[in-house]
Amino acid sequence: MNLTSMFDRICSSNIVIASQQRNEPDFTNEQKHEILNHLYKTNPANFIYRFGSLLTDDEIKQNFDPNADYVCQILKSNRHKLCANRR
């Protein structure tokens, strides 16, 4: 798993990457990748907050600092959901 495949999956979802005006054309995939890459590099906590629901645990562990608070919280939340769904 690399960043490109992670960004591709986020772009293919219907989630809003960045806000646009009403009459503006939709972002191209290249523009979406640039926006995601900029957000990933400048503010990884905000990236996970906005797109964490689309990421797998493996992607989070590979691409983010595993000791950061925001990573620990999302992994803990994912584990809780997994346990709750198994009941």
DSSP string over the chain: --HHHHHHHHHHSS--SS---TTSPPPPHHHHHHHHHHHHHH-HHHHHHHHGGGS-HHHHHHHS-TTSHHHHHHHHHHHHHHHHHH-
Domain limits, the chain: 3-11+27-86
Per-residue model confidence as pLDDT tens digits over 71-87: 656 656 655 554 455 55
- Give the rounded distance of the alpha carbon of 71 from its chain centre: 12
Per-residue model confidence as pLDDT tens digits over 10-56: 988 888 888 888 888 888 889 999 999 999 999 888 888 888 888 88
What would the two tokens of residue 47 be? 């990236």
pTM reported for the whole predicted model? 0.71
Q: What pLDDT sits at residue 68?
A: 64
